Amino acid sequence: YSVALESAQHFVQEAYHAARDARVDPLLVLAVMSIESSFDPRAQSSQGAKGLMQVLARVHVDKFEPFGGAKAVFD
């Protein structure tokens, strides 16, 4: 992957934090990021999936409300 070192470090750090909170393996989170978006935080699919993990925000609107709504999918 063509990812700047600073970005890679940030993604790994955030993956570990999210994985700890969700009680999943952080390597699983990183693997999903790599397959779904190639570590491109602005990735968007033709079906509307967005972000590193290619989430369909329109399907999970209620989950994004505490974070400012569906536009938070890129955060």
pLDDT in tens for each of the 75 residues of the chain?
Answer: 889 999 999 999 999 999 999 999 999 999 999 999 999 999 999 999 999 999 998 888 898 889 888 888 887
N-terminal to C-terminal alpha carbon distance within the chain: 21
Could you give the CA distance from residue 37 to residue 28 in angstroms, rounded to a whole number? Answer: 14
pLDDT for the residue 57: 84
What pLDDT sits at residue 68? 87
Strand partners for 55: 50
Alpha carbon separation from 8 to 50, 56, 57 (Å, rounded): 19, 23, 24
Q: Tell me the CA distances in angstroms from 70 to 3, 33, 56, 67, one per residue in order.
A: 25, 19, 9, 8
